[in-house]
Every structure is written in C-alpha cells, then in structure tokens.
Amino acid sequence: MRVALDLWINGMMMKKGLLVLALCPFAALATEPRQPACNAADFFQTQPDLTVGRVVDAGNVALVGERAGCLDTPQDGCRSGDEVEPGSSLVIGSRWNDYYCVQVLPPGKAVVGWAPEQRVMKTGHMADTDFSSWLGQWDGSAGRVLEIQAEGDTLHLRMLPAGGKGKGTLIGSAEPMGDELFLGEEPCAVRASLQGSKLVLTDNGQCAIGGASPGGVYSSRAAAQRMERLFEGVGDR
C-alpha cells in the first residue's frame, strides 16, 4: 500500500510539473518587458519622469527610430534620419537598454528618437528652487502660456489665451510636493515637474485644454527677464 501511495504522489507531482512547464511560455509572454513607445504624437502622455537635459561630448548624435530590435542589436535602417548637435537642449524620458527616449527642445528642431545614454546628461533637478519658483507665467511651444498663482500654500495653474492675456482655463489647484505638482479634475490628470527655470507638464491623454493637451516644456518668463537684465547690466559696463 505504501509503495502504491508513493507512486500515486510521484505521478501527481510529475503531472503538476508538466502543467507548469506547459503554462510557462504563456506566463513569460505575459510578463516579458516591452520596449516603451518613443514618438512625437504622444510623447508627453507616455513618457514617465521626464527630465530636461542636453547632449554632451563631441559630434552629432544620430537618433534611432522605433523599429523593433534596433535597441538590442545594430541593424541597417534603424536610424531615424535626425541628428542632434552637441549642447542641444533635450527632454529625456524612458530608458531601454543603453538608450534614452528624447525630444529636442527649441531652438532645435522638435524631433523625437532614441539617443545613446552616454551622449545625454540630465540637468533638470540641479538648480535650487523654492515655493516662489513656481509663480508667474511660463512660455511653451506654439505661443502657449501657463500662469501659476498662489493662494496660501495652494497653487492654481491656468492655461492662458494666446499672447498670455485674459483669465484662461483653470487646469487645477493643489499644494506642491517639493518640485512636483499633481492636479486636474476627472478624467484629466496632470503632473507638473519644476526643474530650475523649466516646467515639464505631462498628462494622461484625457486633458483637452483649449482643444489640445497641455503637455510640454515651459520656460519661466521671470527667469528669462532676470537673465535679460543681467546681460544688459554687463553690456552697460
């Protein structure tokens, strides 16, 4: 009887093992990491933890496109055709293997692609900021202007009409968590990241402010004006 019981238990264990092996390929497919998206169409909706930075070292950087396998092994036809000059300003997103998904910022051409990690440097959080750094107007692409005002510890973020005049549309109100601000009303969700004189906005793809997503990189108008006064002072000497 004991021998028969042992044989039955062993048989059941073998069947269980075979079942696990049979299911393993499906489990692997379900959990296998996939290369993140990296394109201009939804860059500020799909890229987590965006950080401003720049291209470093000598020589232009040839961006790599989204073609499958291009970030694993070099292949013909992987380059997007866009090259970025040293010193160019970037916003840096997802990392995959030895590449970062980047978008080139003005005055460069606003192209998106994968850049070798050794050729980019994140600089966004190097500058010291405080509560007052949030305040004022912020200039984005295509003439977009954000305005941030404070009421106590709460910040109110609005998208102003073209030219920056008028009341504009309230995106949301919240208290900042250090250099991060999470706001918006259902179904819209917006994250604002304060990075020195830059403000990086990302959203969940359900925020149509003035008919368009508010996502993008905005420059502090107050910081730009301070720099202008500084250069004017140097020129007057």
**Model confidence at 203, in pLDDT bands (50, 70, 90)?**
very high
Residues with Cβ < 8 Å from 141, sequence gap 6 or more?
A: 106, 110, 216, 217
More confident residue, 2 or 126: 126
Predicted model pTM: 0.81
Alpha-carbon span 148 to 138, nearest angstrom: 8
| Percent of the chain residues topping a pLDDT of 70 | 85
More confident residue, 129 or 73: 129
pLDDT exceeds cutoff 90 at 77:
no
pLDDT, tens digit, 9 for 90 and up, residues 165-190: 788 999 999 999 999 999 988 899 99
pLDDT exceeds cutoff 80 at 207:
yes
Alpha-carbon span 150 to 174, nearest angstrom: 10
167 forms beta bridges with none
Tell me what pLDDT residue 27 has. Answer: 43
| Percent of the chain residues topping a pLDDT of 90 | 62
206-226 average pLDDT score: 89
